[in-house]
């Protein structure tokens, strides 16, 4: 009869173990950029390549967390989160392009023989306004889309298809040169950020630290939401929306809030991704990108906070190895991974770890 | 659809006290039961000439029904008589093709959304017990509890001592004290029935609609539920759909028999059981 006791002990050890692991990871993440500042001949020096790779994966991890807030908690599977990520990235890219162009027009506009900035480029030479755009562009789009989708009670697979169509439409729009975002080349060739050289080790380190900070903030936000009554309403909404309405809750406001929040987090992640990676183009809006994000969440374990981070880390870690070793097989592998997870790991890696922990 | 500065909203919450109340109309704001509900003539629910059809099939035909304040009404009738559809109409899930539905004197149910109707003070227990399976028993009650149900309130909500006590009381009443931390999905069918009844109790609506509440309960549980409902009548109005005649006999002072979407008979259980047409409907099958 001491099984319940053992169970509680495991449950008690669980959070402490998780917390210790989180602390260790955080310490490493803070150390990485500092180590990258060491002279190149130091054995502990972290290369710019590694730092960029990890920074990129951290940005994806934020997307995974944001997606999990709407999918894992509220039951809204978005297959269009890549769009919000890209919009944040483009907003940051506009600023970087203006920095590069100085007083002139961004180079690609010259090729189009444009002599004046389009109206939506006004103010983008200001860092502050660009940061507002990073939040506003994905936030407003999510607000308008969500308002109509939730008002019309679009749910389940219909909702997923609509989000997928949305990101696809976004990609087609941004592919056009006339849209004014550099067509299929997008933005690249950045030089400075706030006057600092964009590839300078110091800038890279600060961008990396900012990404870590955003991740920690997102995690804290998600944790707060999940523990609040709001989070419980979302869970109820996911499982029995009708019942919730007859309890007197209006699901639309709840969905809209978490949906917009999630989009804004993606936009912020995109804004940090672009200066680290040095390029943004419409391929970020490709439908497969958003589907991949869903795979990260499913693999890691949806409805948990750490799961999506693990998933993003594992899949992207594998991807960076795969695309060097067998580039043509990556998509097959990704598909197989998704099937395996769906069939054998319904609760993801986190579920597996938890089961191990309880044994 | 209108907007006030600073908030975006989808639909104003129904405030029966508009003018005297706070007048806030952000998403999901409003009280669960309208203390200002106008029930001058002692009639809480008025349904007149309600018609509902599904693809030409008439589920409700010229149905007229009144429920008084504090009344406990039982609705009986064979399967497919339209009992669940009747509850769907009252709670806004199904819109009638024609007819009038009023809550109190002034709230037109046909114009209100499901959420507004729930906030105005009509609670419902479904035929198939529906609880929030991933949440614990306690959390289920917490969500159902009569409180500000807007997004902003939920973000900041903390249970007050009084609210916690109320949940504790109900936990004791529905005998789920020991299972409070269990996920509701792990409860037995009967326990889920009780949890859903408990959710109605904490929601504290003026009118409770209960669709086959004792299905799947043991005799002792059924008896207990009967006591519970009798205790609620008076302060609340109840409309109970049930097949179990023993249960109906033990609680109802007034019974309505529904047949093919129409009220066949109304009166005390003895009266309706003696009614020729009722006997025909029940025994003729
Ligand atoms: N959404 C619907 N679409 C089509 N027919 C329906 C629908 N809901 C109920 N019905 C039909 O209406 C009739 C009444 O159903 P219901 O109200 O569930 O009966 P009861 O609860 O009295 O058993 C049944 O014949 C049923 O098949
Ligand atoms: Mg029924």
Q: What is the pLDDT of residues A294-350, one digit of tens each?
A: 999 999 998 899 999 999 999 999 988 888 888 888 888 888 888 888 888 888 888
For position A327, what pLDDT does the model report?
Answer: 82
Q: Reply yes or no on whether the pLDDT at B17 is more than 80.
A: no
CATH architecture of the domain covering B73-81+121-283: 3-Layer(aba) Sandwich (3.40)
* Mutation site for B-interface testing, chosen from A4, A225, A250, A251 by largest number of B Cβ within 10 Å: A250
* pTM reported for the whole predicted model: 0.88
Which chain B positions have a beta carbon within 8 Å of A151's beta carbon? 10
Instruction: Name which residue leads in pLDDT, B38 or B203.
Output: B203
Please indicate whether, in this complex, the C-beta atoms of A240 and B93 are within 8 angstroms of each other.
no
Question: B125 falls in which pLDDT band (50, 70, 90)?
Answer: very high
Q: Which ligand is nearest to the Cα of residue B95, counting in written order? A: 1
Q: What is the pLDDT of residues A24-45, one digit of tens each?
A: 999 999 999 999 888 888 888 8
For position B252, what pLDDT does the model report?
Answer: 81
Please indicate whether, in this complex, the C-beta atoms of B131 and A243 are within 8 angstroms of each other.
yes
The partner residue sitting opposite B91, judged by closest CB among A151, A232, A246, is A246
Instruction: Name which residue leads in pLDDT, A232 or B253.
Output: A232
Question: B26 falls in which pLDDT band (50, 70, 90)?
Answer: very low
Q: Reply yes or no on whether the pLDDT at B24 is more than 80.
A: no
Please indicate whether, in this complex, the C-beta atoms of B151 and A253 are within 8 angstroms of each other.
yes
Please indicate whether, in this complex, the C-beta atoms of A228 and B150 are within 8 angstroms of each other.
no
Which chain A positions have a beta carbon within 8 Å of B114's beta carbon? 242, 245-246
The answer to whether B72 and B236 have CB atoms below 8 angstroms apart is: no
Q: What is the mean pLDDT of residues B34-52?
A: 80
For position B19, what pLDDT does the model report?
Answer: 37
The partner residue sitting opposite A230, judged by closest CB among B30, B119, B155, is B155
B27: nearest CA partner in chain A? A253
For position A75, what pLDDT does the model report?
Answer: 93
A148: nearest CA partner in chain B? B10
Q: Reply yes or no on whether the pLDDT at B129 is more than 60.
A: yes
Please indicate whether, in this complex, the C-beta atoms of A239 and B151 are within 8 angstroms of each other.
no
pLDDT, averaged across chain B: 84
Question: A3 falls in which pLDDT band (50, 70, 90)?
Answer: very low
Task: Give CB contacts under 8 A, 24+ apart, made by A7-12.
Answer: A7/A358, A10/A357, A10/A358
Between chain A and chain B, how many beta carbons pairs sit less than 8 Å apart? Answer: 96
B157: nearest CA partner in chain A? A229
Nearest CA to ligand 1 atom 12: B59
Which chain A positions have a beta carbon within 8 Å of B26's beta carbon? 253
Instruction: Report ipTM (2 d.p.).
Output: 0.85
| CA-wise closest residue to A233 among A243, A218, A223 | A243
CA of A57 to the centre of ligand 2 (A): 52
Q: Reply yes or no on whether the pLDDT at A77 is more than 90.
A: yes
Q: Reply yes or no on whether the pLDDT at B2 is more than 60.
A: no
Question: A4 falls in which pLDDT band (50, 70, 90)?
Answer: very low
The partner residue sitting opposite A240, judged by closest CB among B130, B151, B155, is B130
For position B271, what pLDDT does the model report?
Answer: 87
For position A12, what pLDDT does the model report?
Answer: 56
Q: What is the mean pLDDT of residues A168-174?
A: 96
Q: Reply yes or no on whether the pLDDT at B156 is more than 50.
A: yes
For position A284, what pLDDT does the model report?
Answer: 94
Please indicate whether, in this complex, the C-beta atoms of A244 and B133 are within 8 angstroms of each other.
no
Domain map of chain B by residue range? 73-81+121-283
Q: Mention every residue, 6+ apart, whose C-beta is less than 8 A from residue A136.
A: none
For position B284, what pLDDT does the model report?
Answer: 60
CA of B211 to the centre of ligand 2 (A): 7
Q: What is the 3-state secondary structure (H, E, C) of chain A?
A: CCHHHHHHHHHHHHHHHHHHHHHHHHHHHHHHHHHHCCCCCCCCCCCHHHHHHHHHHHHHHHHHHHHHHHHHHCCCCCCCHHHHHHHHHHHHHHHHHHHHHCCCCCHHHHHCCCCCCCHHHCCCCCHHHHHHHHHHHHHHHHHHHHHHHHHCCCCHHHHHHHHHHHHHHHHHHHHCHHHCCCHHHCEECCCEECCEECCCHHHHHHHHHHHHHHHHHHHHHHHHHHHCHHHHHHHHHHHCHHHHHHCCCCHHHHHHHHHHHHHHHHHHHHHHHHHHHCEECHHHHCHHHHHHHHHHHHHHCCCCCHHHHHHHHHHHHHHHHHHHHCHHHHHHHHHHHHHHHHHHCCCHHHHHHHHHHHC
Of A87-101, A213-227, B29-43, B260-274, least confident by mean pLDDT is B29-43
Q: What is the mean pLDDT of residues A185-193?
A: 92
Q: Reply yes or no on whether the pLDDT at B25 is more than 70.
A: no
For position A11, what pLDDT does the model report?
Answer: 52
For position A113, what pLDDT does the model report?
Answer: 86
The partner residue sitting opposite A243, judged by closest CB among B11, B132, B142, is B132
Instruction: Name which residue leads in pLDDT, B23 or B101.
Output: B101
* Closest ligand 1 atom number to CA of residue B81: 22
CA of A265 to the centre of ligand 2 (A): 45
Q: Reply yes or no on whether the pLDDT at A183 is more than 80.
A: yes
Nearest CA to ligand 1 atom 26: B80
Q: What is the pLDDT of residues A237-293, one digit of tens each?
A: 999 999 999 999 999 999 999 999 999 999 999 999 999 999 999 999 999 999 999
Which chain B positions have a beta carbon within 8 Å of A254's beta carbon? 28, 151, 154
pLDDT, averaged across chain A: 90
Question: B18 falls in which pLDDT band (50, 70, 90)?
Answer: very low
Q: What is the pLDDT of residues B182-216, one digit of tens each?
A: 999 999 888 999 999 999 999 999 999 999 998 88
Q: Per this entry, what is the length of chain A?
A: 359
The partner residue sitting opposite A228, judged by closest CB among B130, B133, B155, is B155
For position A58, what pLDDT does the model report?
Answer: 97
CA of A89 to the centre of ligand 2 (A): 53
For position A1, what pLDDT does the model report?
Answer: 35
Which chain B positions have a beta carbon within 8 Å of A235's beta carbon? 132, 134-135
Q: Which ligand is nearest to the Cα of residue B93, counting in written order? A: 1
Q: What is the pLDDT of residues A134-165, one digit of tens each?
A: 999 999 999 999 999 999 999 899 999 999 99
At B139, is the secondary structure helix, strand, or coil? helix
Q: Reply yes or no on whether the pLDDT at B29 is more than 60.
A: no
Q: What is the mean pLDDT of residues A172-199?
A: 92
Residues with CB under 6 A from ligand 1: B 54, 57, 59, 77, 79-85
Question: B21 falls in which pLDDT band (50, 70, 90)?
Answer: very low
| CA-wise closest residue to A85 among A289, A259, A225 | A289
């Amino acid at each position: 009869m001491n099984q319940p006791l053992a169970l509680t002990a495991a449950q008690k050890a669980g959070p402490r173990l998780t917390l210790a692991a989180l602390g260790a990871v955080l310490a490493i993440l803070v150390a990485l950029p500092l180590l990258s500042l060491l002279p190149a001949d130091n054995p502990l020096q972290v290369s710019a390549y590694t730092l960029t790779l990890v920074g990129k994966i951290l940005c994806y991890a934020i997307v995974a967390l944001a997606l999990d807030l709407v999918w894992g908690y509220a039951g809204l599977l978005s297959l269009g989160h890549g769009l919000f990520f890209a919009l944040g990235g483009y907003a940051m890219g506009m600023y970087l392009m203006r920095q590069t162009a100085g007083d002139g027009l961004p180079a690609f506009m010259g090729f189009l023989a444009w002599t004046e900035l389009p109206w939506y480029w006004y103010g983008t030479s200001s860092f502050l306004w660009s940061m507002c755009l990073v939040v506003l562009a994905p936030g407003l789009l999510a607000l308008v889309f969500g308002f109509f989708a939730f008002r019309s009670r679009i749910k389940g697979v219909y909702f997923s298809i609509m989000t997928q169509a949305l990101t696809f439409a976004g990609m087609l729009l941004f592919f056009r040169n006339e849209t004014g975002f550099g067509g299929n080349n997008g933005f690249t060739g950045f030089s400075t950020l706030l006057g600092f050289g964009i590839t300078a080790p110091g800038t890279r380190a600060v961008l990396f630290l900012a990404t870590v900070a955003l991740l920690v903030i997102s995690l804290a936000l998600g944790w707060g939401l999940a523990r609040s009554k709001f989070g419980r309403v979302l869970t109820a909404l996911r499982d029995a929306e009708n019942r919730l309405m007859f309890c007197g809750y209006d699901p639309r406001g709840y969905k809209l809030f978490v949906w917009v929040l999630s989009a804004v987090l993606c936009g912020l992640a995109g804004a940090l991704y672009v200066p680290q990676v040095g390029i943004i183009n419409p391929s970020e809006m490709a439908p497969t990108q958003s589907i991949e994000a869903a795979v990260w969440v499913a693999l890691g374990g949806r409805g948990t906070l750490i799961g999506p981070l693990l998933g993003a880390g594992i899949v992207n870690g594998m991807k960076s190895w795969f695309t060097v070793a067998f580039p043509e097989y990556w998509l097959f592998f990704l598909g197989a991974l998704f099937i395996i997870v769906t069939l054998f790991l319904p609760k993801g890696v986190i579920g597996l770890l938890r089961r191990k922990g309880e044994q | 659809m209108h907007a006030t500065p600073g908030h975006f909203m989808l639909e104003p919450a129904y405030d029966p006290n508009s003018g005297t109340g706070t007048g806030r109309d952000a998403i999901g704001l409003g009280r669960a039961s309208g203390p200002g509900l106008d029930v001058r003539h002692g009639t809480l629910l008025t349904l007149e000439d309600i018609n509902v059809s599904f693809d030409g099939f008439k589920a409700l035909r010229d149905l007229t029904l009144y429920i008084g304040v504090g009344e406990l009404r039982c609705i009986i009738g064979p399967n497919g008589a339209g009992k669940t559809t009747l509850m769907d109409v009252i709670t806004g899930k199904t819109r009638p093709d024609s007819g009038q539905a009023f809550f109190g004197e002034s709230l037109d149910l046909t114009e209100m959304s499901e959420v507004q109707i729930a906030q105005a003070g009509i609670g419902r227990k479904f035929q198939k017990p529906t609880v929030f399976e991933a949440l614990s028993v306690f959390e289920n009650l917490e969500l159902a509890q009569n409180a500000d149900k807007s997004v902003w309130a939920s973000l900041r909500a903390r249970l007050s001592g009084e609210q916690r006590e109320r949940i504790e009381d109900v936990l004791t009443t529905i005998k789920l004290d020991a299972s409070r931390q269990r996920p509701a999905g792990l409860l037995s069918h009967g326990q889920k029935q009780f949890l859903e009844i408990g959710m109605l109790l904490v929601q504290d609506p003026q009118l409770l609609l209960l669709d086959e509440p004792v299905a799947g309960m043991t005799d002792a549980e059924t008896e207990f539920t009967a006591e519970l409902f009798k205790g609620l009548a008076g302060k609340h109005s109840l409309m109970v759909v049930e097949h179990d005649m023993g249960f109906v006999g033990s609680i109802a002072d007034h019974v309505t028999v529904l047949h093919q979407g129409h009220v066949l008979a109304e009166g005390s259980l003895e009266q309706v059981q003696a009614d020729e047409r009722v006997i025909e409907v029940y025994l003729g099958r």
